[in-house]
Structure 1
Amino acid sequence: MARDKVMNWKMKHYAARVQGVEGLIEGEHSDYGNLTSRQCGNFVKIALARANELV
């Protein structure tokens, strides 16, 4: 059975936009190698905050 994606590309771009780093990533198959570990870690924090808003 295939695993569902945890974060789709739209959510990743939303999190990048919130952090002001959306210019460092582009396209659906983005390269996140330009981001710091902290910026990537903040994606989870932003995604959880967004999920709590939708509940």
Structure 2
Amino acid sequence: MPVIKVKDQGIEQALVEFKRLSVDVKRTAMRYTYYLRPALKRKEKKKRADMKRRFY
């Protein structure tokens, strides 16, 4: 679980930081829930890159 220290009433900034870190933890956990063969891992990586390129 990510830990965020709140400084000088910066609760809004702390919440934003916490949400960003928690999404990263979920994404990492989903990536390692099951084994992917190297060929399938490359396909997934290419698919993520294509989606990222398409929307940004």
Please confirm whether the aligned pair reaches a TM-score higher than 0.5, indicating the same fold: no
Which structure has more relative contact order (CA 8 Å, sep 6+)? It is 1
TM-score range, shorter chain: 0.3 to 0.5
Larger Rg: 2
Which has the larger share of helix? 2
